[in-house]
Structure formats: C-alpha cells, structure tokens
Amino acid sequence: MRIENLLYKAISSLPYSDFSIDFRRRHDSSLRSISLLFVALSVLSLAQSSTIGVQYISRLLEIHDRERAPPSVQVAAAYGLLQRLLPSHSSAFEFRIISKEQCGGESCFIIKNHPSSYIRGAPEILITGVTGVEVSAGLHWYLKHWCGSHISWETTGGAQLSSMPKLGSLPRVRDDGILVRRPVPWNYYQNAVSSSYSFAWWDWKRWEKEIDWMGLQGINLPLAFTGQEAIWQKVFQKYNISSSDLDDFFGGPAFLAWSRMANLHGWGGPLPESWFDQQLILQKKILARMYELGMTPVLPAFSGNVPAALKQVFPLAKITRLGNWFSVKSDPRWCCTYLLDATDPLFIEIGRAFIEQQLKEYGRTGHIYNCDTFDENTPPVDDPAYISSLGAAIYSGMQSGDSEAVWLMQGWLFSYDPFWRPPQMKALLLSGSLRLKMILLSRFYAVRDGSDTIGQLFIVPLHMCMLHNFAGNIEMYGILDAIASGPVEARRSEKSTMASDCVFIDYHFVGFVDVELELEILSREGFFELEIILLIVLVDKNRDVIVAFPDVDPSLLSISHERYDEYGKPVLRRAVLERHRNSYDQPHLWYSTSEVIRALELFISSGDELSASKTYRYDLVDLTRQALAKYANKLFLEVIEAYNLNDVHGVSQQSMRFLELVEDMDTLLACHDGFLLGPWLESAKQLAQNAEQEKQFEWNARTQITMWFDNTEEEASLLRDYGNKYWSGLLRDYYGPRAAIYFKYLIESLEKGHGFRLKDWRREWIELTNDWQSSTNLYPVKSFGDTLDTSRWLFDKYLQSSRAYVPQISSAFGMP
C-alpha cells in the first residue's frame, strides 16, 4: 500500500481527538471512527476466561469485596470525577453500584439508556458497575466509543471533549445496553521508579488528576509509594536510630526510588523534616481517594534495606554491606548500602513494625504489598534451602503485621540474573505457603521475559505487564502486535496463572501509541486485528547522540564503507560503528528513516487544516524531533569519519552543522508544553518551603536528568544520561555545549597533531555538568513559537535537502 494511503488511513483512525475529527470531516465523513492512535482495531472475540491465577486469589478478591467502601461513597467519588472532567454534562448521567452476580460473577460495567431519558432535564445515560472504578471506566467507554471523545495525559492532548453533543442529545446505546466484563480481576499500574521519574514533585491537585485518569482507564490496582519515608522514620526511631542517621539513609526527593531499593543512600539529601510531614499528608489523601473509588492500593513492605547505624545498635544482627551501584570509585558516601538478612529474627520484627505503622497511619490496607529484596541484589548463597528460608522470612514479616498479606514481587530478575536457575526460583516462589500468597509481576510480555512460563511452572498468580519506557527517554517505539496479543495469549494459555493486566511505565506523559493500545486491551478479552502497524517500530533505550553523547576516544569509532544491493534496492553506503564495549552504546534503528521522513512530509502537508488541534501539534513536534534526532546521529558519524581522514575542515563544518541542529531542535521543542524543561524544575521548587529547600530540590531535579553521583575531575559517573529528555532548555544549555566541548578537542587533536585528549574532554564536560546542575537560571513553563511553521522550516532546512542521503541515515544504523 502506498504510504499516502497508510498515513491517510492512520490519521482517519485517530482516537476521536480534535485532530482526527477535523481530518475526517474534511476528507471522508463516512470513515468509521476507531479508538486507538494510528491503529485500527477489530474485536474477534469477547469470551470470558478464568485462569488458575484467578482461582488462587479468589479468597483475596472476596476480602476486597467485603472491605470495599460503601456503594454510596463509591458513587459519590465517581460523580466527583465526572464533575471535574465534564461539569457541563454532570446531570446527564446516573451512576449505580451493582453486585458481581449481575455481571455473571465477574467485575463489569453496564451502559444503558436511562429509563427517564425521555423527560426533559432527566439523566440520559445510566452507567452501573461493580465498583466506582468500573463506573468510571464505563463513563470513559461511553465518551470514547459513543461521543467521539478521548482522555489522555495533559501534555499529549488532555481531555478532548469538543465533540460532546449538547445536553439532551447524547447518543443512545442499543436497547439492551452494553455490558463489558473485566477479562482479569486487576489492572495494575506504575513501576516502583515512577515515584521519582514521574511523581517526585506532585501536589494533591496533580495527584487528583492522575487518580481520575486511573479510574477512567479502569486501573484498580495502583502502586501507592508516596510518603513511606515518614513511616520508616517512625519505625526506625523505635530502634534508637537518630534523625542524623536517617539523613544518611534516605535519598533526596528525586532519588527516593533508588534509596528504597537499596541502590544508594544519602544522595540528594538530607530530606527536610517538612518533607516527611508533607508527603505523609499527601499519601493519606491519595489513599483515601483510591479507596473511595474502589481501588486496591499496593503498599510497600520491608525488603531488608536498613540504615548503617542499625549495625551499631544491633552488633550481632546479620547485616551485610552490599556492593557498589555505579558510584564513582565506590564512594562510601552514596554507595554500598546495608541489607538485613531475612533469616535474622530482627527482619520479621521490623517487617511487622512497618506494616503495623502503615495500618496505624492509614487506617486500612488492601493487603497487597510490594517487596523486591532481590531487585539488582543477588542473595549471598545459592543453596535452595537458604533461598526458601529467605522467602519465608520476608513473607512472615508482612504476615505478622497483616494476616491476609499477599506479596507482590517483580519477576524480571529471573530473566536478567543468571543466579536464578530453576531450583533457586522454585525455592523462592514456593517458600512455605507462598504459592497462595505471592503474585509475580512480569515486566516485558511484549518480548517474552519468561515470567509467564515461570508463573505456570510454579503455579504463581501473574501480572502480565509491558515496560513502556526507560526513565522517560522520549523515543518512538513499540511492538504493537505483541502488545495486542500478549495479554490475550497469556490469559488463554492452557495453564495460565494470569491474574492481572498491567501498565508499567517509568516516566508518564509521553505520547506513546503502545500505552494507548494496552489501555484499550485492559477492558477487552479478545484478540485485536491490527489493520495498520505504525511506520515507526523501535524497542530500545534511547541512545541518540544528542542526549547520550559518547564518552569515548574517537579512535575507537571507525566508519567502514560498503556498497551493496538488498532486494534490488541500491544503497549508497553502510556505516558501521565499531565501539569499545564498555564505553559507548551504539545508537541504532529498527525502522526505515526514509519512511519516517516521508510520513513527516505528509503530516506537515495537513497542517493548515489541523494545526488548531493540540494532539496534532504534539505529534508534529514529536515526529519532527524523531526525524531530526536520527539526522543528528548521521552528522555525528560524518564528524567521526572526517576525523579519521584527518580532515580538519570536514570536522569543523559538520560539527557546526550538528550544533546548529541542536539549537534548532531546542527551538522546535519550545513550541509545545510537553517538551519543556521549565515545568519539571518549577514543580520541584514549588514544593519547597524556604530558599534552602528550593535550591536543594532544583538541584535534585536537574541532577536526575543529567549525571548522578559525585565525579572525580577526570572520571564521570556511569549513571549519566539514563534519564535523558528531549526538553527545550536542556538541549540549548547542556546537550549542545557538551557536544561543543567534544568537537573542540577533536579539532585541536588534528590541528596540533596529537591524540584526542580524553581526560581533558572529561574534565571540561564534568565541570559543565556540575555547573549546570548547581545553576538556578529560569526556563519557560509555557510554550512559544508556531509549531507548524517551525516544523516546516526545519524540514526544508535539514530533511528536504538530505533526501539523497536518506539511505545513508538508515544504513548507518543497520536498516535498509
């Protein structure tokens, strides 16, 4: 099919945004509206399934049903959500809570025409559901599939409700109504590091929006990690651990996820006392709203991570110091945390104290606790008997504080750590009676991390998840057919132990189509037929040169030329980066750059009609950024090629073009609120209560997205650019100047006839990093500039003239 037809069909099936509606009205009013960005879906089956995993958690589900908020509270919470989302239509809907028996024994929502809808001013649509979440999900289903509306994160379009009909004229559903059953009992949400990458600086106003979004998407099992440091503070003080000892234990506000996981301590801290109080109050509001909607929040549990001072208080306790986690020269100020052995009696005691303190503060629990003692921490002994005792002790710490406790554990360690062979896995997963008290969380079903097989092998209830991004790196990627089929295949497997679908994201609020696809699948049982596959398909962490600049001697990078003809298509050049294994991650593509550039051209050509749409403007910036980022990778290769040829003029010319491109991309990103550095920094400062906190919080925010840990003058931390972002301000003031330093030393090397001064480059780059992290210059929080004009200008400047080189851009990274 011609690319024009592909793009036309893709745009025509956008998710009821202003953008897609405008396009359809202008081009083909008869096109069927479908509900997923760039993907046309058709449901092949809506049959129900019941897995072994669901049977194993049936007792817990009964407890949840029994302890859930009263129907009147859940209905009131759902009405509150409606009032915040669509106040003009709050009188058009009636909500009711119904029993599972009315849904055939499962959770569901039912949408019907209201029996009084013929009366002027009466509700028009009746939505019933087993919980407030089901009612909210039913509302979203109706708005999306019957009113042409779409609910997304604010930066990627927000609540797109302009297509809503007026009161009194809402679309009627079929006479017998619509019943949608939940395929599995739970829809899980978040990753443990989301609390730092995404939520670090949120206040209640922002959290309220997120919980509303969760309810609309049918999320009923969210991770709830906010404020746990206040609980730990109270627990450890009972063991004579002082506030100063805890200052060294907790990380800073932007690094709490990793201090919780025992990867680091003290870095970015100490936490001010006001932070503990502020976050505990916030957590209580978060939990209250989640419970009101009928959600089951997942709380943290004790993993064995303890302050160093506990070793002095309990000198006979089995406390082990862990190894270095990426700090420079194993700096003891930040690295090498302490782990209390689960077989020590003190472990169960502290585990119980932590659970009990949470119950005391929060008043209730959903009985599910997340604990990842072995996430990037390998047990000291591989004896299955010892592993079994570890698992039993960890769970006992939970159960002694909550007799109905269930342990939720990430399963990805089984796929990346060779320590975990079948005997060790079995020993952990079947410790004592854990088979009935553990839920395994799979993170990569789209690439088959093996957790589904493990779950079946040891009959452990399983969450099937997809990790959508690493640290919020902005990149277009997704294996859509796997996302569409993975959960369904897992549910239908003969020995399936699946109990939940899962949306697993490090950083939220980037416009990934795969997130939208997975959210749609959460409420459907059957397979989807993907009539259109995204032209862009990439699965990788973002290693674009601009945002992840190589710290490597250029002599380790070489360009080889090769002429070949693949499937009859002439290719001018294939450039290959040969790299030092430990110093440079080669950027690469799994798609054709020429297709992306052609798609961008078509996208721009529709701009005069569509540029009023927020979703169109976001996608236009993102697609232009994507194409230009890959062009920048090509320019970098040309710089290295010129250097290897001792061509000073070539290095200088291509370096200047690279740096000019970075400046121009910063201008592009400034055109949309979703690509700004300013909001991240300002949200950090707004949580501060004095000037000292403001400085500390801003430093935390700047450091998380650049380079962690102290550096020596000539050695940079390995944790650099992991949280890289394509944000306006960051390109202009950090990524661009960093590249300029590297290019300066390339040119000097050729002009003076000596080798590349790697140590001098590192010294100046590290100084730039430290200075930028400590600076307090302001960045815009609102976009400026015309998105369409800027995109057109950059396309003409860089991509139109580079058409002859398009095969080179693709082949430079291994693509035809």
Q: Beginning with the edge strand found earlier in the chain, give each strand of the sheet holding 108-113 in spatial order.
A: 93-97, 125-129, 108-113, 178-181
**Distant-in-sequence contacts of 573-577, Cβ < 8 A, 24+ apart:** 573/807, 573/808, 573/811, 573/812, 574/811, 574/812, 575/637, 575/641, 575/808, 575/811, 575/812, 577/637
State how far Cα 728 lies from the chain centre.
20
Tokens (6 digits) for 513? 């189509």
Query: Terminal CA-to-CA distance of the chain, rounded, Å?
Result: 18
Tokens (6 digits) for 503? 């949306």
Q: Token match 């749409």: residue?
A: 613
pTM: 0.85
What sign has the CA pseudo-torsion 283, 288, 294, 299? positive
Query: Which domains are present in the chain?
Result: 62-184 (3.30.379.10), 188-245+271-304+345-521 (3.20.20.80), 554-677+725-811 (1.20.120.670)
Residue closest to 215 by CA, chosen among 84, 126, 365:
84
Mean residue pLDDT of the chain comes to 81
Three-state DSSP class for residue 237:
helix
CA angle, corner 261, sides to 370 and 441, nearest 5? 35
pLDDT of residue 590: 57
Walking along the chain (816 residues) 10 residues at a time, the average pLDDT comes out as: 35 35 34 26 35 74 96 98 97 97 93 95 97 97 93 84 93 95 86 90 96 94 96 97 96 96 94 97 98 98 96 96 88 92 94 98 96 80 89 92 92 81 86 69 50 47 53 60 64 55 54 67 58 40 82 78 32 32 50 84 95 91 94 94 96 98 98 96 97 98 93 84 93 98 98 95 95 98 97 96 49 40
pLDDT of residue 456: 44
Q: Which amino acid, 716? A: A
What sign has the CA pseudo-torsion 337, 342, 346, 347? positive
39: left (phi over 0), alpha (psi -120 to 50) or beta: beta
Task: Tell me phi and psi for residue 87, to 5 degrees.
Answer: -60, -30
Tokens (6 digits) for 467? 């990790």
Residue closest to 17 by CA, chosen among 127, 133, 151, 203:
151
Peptide bond into 487 cis (omega under 30): no
From the number of C-beta atoms within 10 Å of its C-beta (0-12, 13-18, 19+), residue 44 rates as exposed
717/329 Cα distance (integer angstroms) = 9
- Which residues are 127's β-sheet partners? 95, 111
**Distant-in-sequence contacts of 654-658, Cβ < 8 A, 24+ apart:** 655/739, 655/740, 655/743, 655/746, 655/747, 658/632, 658/739, 658/743
Task: Tell me phi and psi for residue 95, to 5 degrees.
Answer: -115, 145
Distances, alpha carbon 451 to alpha carbons 189, 371, 417, in Å: 18, 17, 13
73/215 Cα distance (integer angstroms) = 15
Task: Tell me phi and psi for residue 439, to 5 degrees.
Answer: -125, 130
Contacts with 48 (C-beta within 8 Å, 6 or more apart), sequence order: 104, 106, 181, 183, 525
